[in-house]
Structure 1
Amino acid sequence: MSTVAWITARGLFGRRRALLLLPLPLLLVGLAALCRAYDVRPSDWGTPVIVGLGLAVVLPVVSLIVGTGVLGSEIDDGTIVHILTKPLPRRDIILAKLGVAVVVSALTAAVPLFVAGLLADSAQLGAGLAVAAAVGAVAYSALFLLLSLLTRRPVLLGLVYILVWEGLLGQFVSGTRVLSIQQYVITIADKISPTGLLESKVSLTVAVVMAVIFALGCALAAVDRLRSFSMAGETS
């Protein structure tokens, strides 16, 4: 399993896709630093930057890029057949791929969110955002990894989930928030470091339980889906 993880990480950072991970985190830190440098009140910029950019864009988009890239590119170019010919349980392949996706997504999103939280309020808020981002990275990565196995357009469907389900419906239709990873992340961060900059709309119990369900459910579904792949890399 460690070999699969190493090959996945090397392939991920060996592609141009890895360069797409840099602009959004840098933009988040840059905006936070700029507002702090010009003494703009955190109450004026904290929510738009931390929630509107950090939690609503940086975290899910980074997870989408990485989550669909750890396996989707191998399906597209047919190299997945080399993995499937190895005497490895499908479970180990998915766990290795998911592990790489979670680590890369969590680090890429958590570090700039910590910095933004530190500049906006305190180290406690920064830590809360980092922890919540790590939890969100697990759920998002599992979801987007599964999408890469279900469709040839995982990025498109992932963007629909982020922009339409979480971004649009999640703001106006309360029932959709129960299935919004973004809402779980906001709630967890708010409970770790209560602040007026964050407004949780689901309970902590719902956030934790649903995040676990998303992660485990999507991971198990991904394992089952990978078992249906034939040696040609197509589904039977």
Structure 2
Amino acid sequence: MSTVAWITTRGLLGRRRFLLLLPLPILMIGVALIPRFEGVSPQEWAQPVLVAMGFTTLLPIVALIVGTGVLGAEIDDGTITHILSKPLARWRIVVPKLLVAIAVTAASAAVPFYIVGALASGPRLGIGLVVGSTVGAVLYSTIFVALSLISRRPVLLGLVYVIIWEGLLSNLVSGTRVLSVQQYALTIADKASASDLLNGNVSFAVAVVMSIVVTIGFLVLAIRKLSSFSVTGETS
């Protein structure tokens, strides 16, 4: 498993795709610095930056780039056949790749979230945001890794999911919030930070239980889907 994780990390960080992870975190920090140094109250700018830029845009987009890349690139170029030909249980392939996706996504999101949170309200909010964004990284990464095995167009489907479901419906239609990864992450960040700058729209219990259900469900789906691949890289 460690070998698979190392190969995945080296391949992911060595691709141009990794450069796509940098603009959004830098932009989020830059946008927060402007009102902070102009003396604007955090009550006016923290919510739009943290929620609209952070939980709605940065976190899912970074997870999409990374999550669809750890297996999707190998499926596209055919090198997945080399891994499938090894006598490895399929979960020993999926799990380390998923862990790499989670680690890279969480690290990419943690820095801007902590900095913006600290600028808005101090370290407690920064740490709470790191906790919430890490939960979001686990959930989004699991979904997008599974999606890369289900579809030949995982990035396109992922964008539709992020924009339509997470970006529009979960914020406009209250009934869909109980099925929103964004809302789970936001609620957990709210609980961990105890800040009035955040406002989770689902209960903490729902956020925790649904996070576990989504993670296990999509992980099992990814393992089962990879198990259906033949050595040619096609589903049987």
Q: TM-score, normalised by structure 2?
A: 0.98
Distance (Å, rounded) in 1 between the aligned partners of 2:121 and 2:55? 16
In 2, Cα distance between equivalents of 1:192 and 1:19: 31
Counterpart AA for 1:189: A
Measure how far apart 1:87 and its partner are. Answer: 1.3
Q: Identify the residue that residue 60 of structure 2 maps to in structure 1.
A: 60
The answer to whether the aligner puts 1:82 opposite 2:82 as a matched pair is yes
- Counterpart in the other structure of 2:188: 188
1:23 corresponds in structure 2 to 23
Alignment of 1:128-139 (within 5 A): 128-139=128-139
Deviation at 1:124, TM superposition (A): 0.4
Gaps of 5+ in 2: none
Q: Deviations over 1:73-93 (max 9, x none)?
A: 000010000000111110010
- What residue is the counterpart of 1:69 in the other structure? 69
Segments of structure 1 that go 5 or more residues without pairing to the other structure are none
2:199 corresponding residue in structure 1? 199
Q: Residue 148 of structure 1 aligns to which amino acid in structure 2? A: S
Q: CA deviation at 1:40?
A: 1.4
Instruction: Letter of the 1:104 partner, please give it.
Output: V
Q: Which position in structure 2 is the counterpart of 1:230? A: 230
Counterpart AA for 2:178: V
CA distance in 2, matches of 1:55, 1:174: 17
Q: What's the offset of the Cα at 1:41?
A: 1.1
Once residues 34 and 88 of structure 2 are traced to their aligned partners in structure 1, the CA distance between those partners, rounded to angstroms, is 49
Q: Name the CA distance, whole Å, in 2 between partners of 1:34 and 1:10.
A: 36
Report the AA paired with residue 174 of structure 1: S
Cα deviation code 1:47-105 (max 9, x no counterpart):
11111101111111000000000000000010000000111110010001000000000
Say if 2:43 is the partner of 1:43.
Answer: yes
Distance between the aligned counterparts of 1:206 and 1:110, measured in 2? 23
1:112 to 2:122 alignment? no
Aligned AA for 1:199? Answer: N
Larger deviation: 52-61 or 34-43?
Answer: 34-43
Aligned identity (percent) is 59
Task: Provide, for residues 177-212 of structure 1, a one-character-per-residue CA deviation record: whole Å limited to 9, x for no partner.
Answer: 111000001100111122232111100000011111
**What's the offset of the Cα at 1:219?**
0.6
* Matched AA of 1:20: L
- Cα displacement (A) at 1:34: 2.0
| Aligned twin of 1:162 | 162
Q: Which residue of the partner structure matches residue 101 of structure 2?
A: 101
- Which stretches of structure 1, 4 residues or more, deviate above 2 A after TM superposition? none
1:33 equivalent in structure 2: 33
Q: Deviation per CA, 1:100-153, whole angstroms, max 9, x where unpaired? A: 000000010011101100001111000000011111100100000000000011
Could you state the TM-score of these two structures normalised by the residue count of structure 1?
A: 0.98
